[in-house]
Structure 1
Amino acid sequence: MPSNVPSFDELLDGAQHSAVHLEMRDAYAVDYEAGPFADWKAGRQLSPADQASWWRPWLDLIERTVARGVTVRRARIVSEPVSEYIRYEHSGTFTNVAAGEQVRWLPRRQASTIALPGNDFWLIDSTLIRWNHFTGDGQSAGGEISDDPAAAKLCADAFEAVWQRAIPHAQYTIR
């Protein structure tokens, strides 16, 4: 198992064909979202016309990655009715889509028969996994890199099963 955890810039800049991300939590409490989440709860909505206010430099990285021909897909498994945090994520996901990311949502009840890994992950080119670890209250507990073929297959199979059942962002209605 590789010991160094590359940055997301390094991971996505190194992707040749695909980068897929599976999110399975109903709430995250990562530091960099505290301000934007509080703003959203106070009624501030991102505007499609104000791209400067969007989550940069993340969306720049997605645009750059997609421009190189790499397919970037994100699937979110969510409980319904959704949490306040998922409402927040959903309201801003149009920015990810505008940057070139494909995003789908899967109600958790529809994921019951899918074998899923125990953690959120990024899978790069079907071979390199970046596990995203979180504490019980949603704080980041750091990442971990793996190139284990069996784990990569589990992640690839899980992601594709979720993707096939999931609802494209433009068609998913918050419940």
Structure 2
Amino acid sequence: MKFPVRELLARAGRSAVHLEMRDSYTPDDPDFLEWLSGRRRTPDTLPEWWWPWHEVVTEAVGRGVVLRRARIVSEPVSDYIRYEHDFTFANVSAGEQVRWLPRRKASDIALPGNDFWLFDDATVIFNHFNGRGEPVGKEITAEQSVVDLCRSAFAAVWEHATPHAEYKPE
């Protein structure tokens, strides 16, 4: 069963937040492997590789949806996090607000066990990954206690995190 993040973002009325807590995702991703070999994405090539997500985000932000993404990361950061940091300019250029929180500064925050999206403080999509960082499924819920946990966790992370323009990976 698919849970369409893009469709939920297209229907969002006020807000969408995304909390990422892993140090590695899809280690066999061709873009990541190219980055490891020295290829870097630049703003002038953005339409070639980022356009579908860029369109969804700019449309949502244009409607007044506040889109925030926070990443909890171990330091020193993994190659994958360095890769994500390197291309986060694309998220920001589309209208996302992005912040980074070193894991050592998250010890006093109650966090759900999985990465998630929260739309309009009403619907949560959890992303499940295996130990290698490969996606293995998703689940969706509107259960109030889960929504409250995710809203609270994201707010605490956001408050303590560093804006993307100021964060320098160690």
* Residue aligning to 1:88: 83
| Matching residue within 4, 7, 23 for 1:7 | 4
* Residue aligning to 1:53: 48
- Give the aligned CA root-mean-square deviation in angstroms: 1.2
DSSP-derived class of the 2:51 partner: coil
1:114 aligns with 2:102: no
* Residue aligning to 2:37: 42
* Residue aligning to 2:134: 139
1:25 aligns with 2:31: no
Q: Deviations over 1:76-113 (max 9, x none)?
A: 00000000000000000000000000000000000000
DSSP-derived class of the 1:44 partner: coil
The count of corresponding residues between Structure 1 and Structure 2 is 170
Once residues 67 and 59 of structure 1 are traced to their aligned partners in structure 2, the CA distance between those partners, rounded to angstroms, is 12
Once residues 13 and 127 of structure 1 are traced to their aligned partners in structure 2, the CA distance between those partners, rounded to angstroms, is 15
1:168 aligns with 2:168: no
1:155 aligns with 2:141: no
What runs of 5+ residues in structure 2 fail to find an aligned partner? Answer: none
Once residues 140 and 46 of structure 2 are traced to their aligned partners in structure 1, the CA distance between those partners, rounded to angstroms, is 32
Once residues 39 and 138 of structure 1 are traced to their aligned partners in structure 2, the CA distance between those partners, rounded to angstroms, is 18
Report the CA distance between 1:30 and its aligned residue. 6.8
Matched to 1:150, the amino acid is: S
| Matching residue within 108, 120, 124 for 1:125 | 120
TM-score (norm 1): 0.93
Once residues 78 and 123 of structure 1 are traced to their aligned partners in structure 2, the CA distance between those partners, rounded to angstroms, is 20
- Return 90-99 or 136-145, whichever deviates more: 136-145
Matched to 1:110, the amino acid is: K
Q: Show structure 1 runs of 4+ deviating over 3 A.
A: none
| Matching residue within 60, 65, 71 for 1:70 | 65
Distance 1:50 1:35, change over 3 A: same
TM-score (norm 2): 0.96
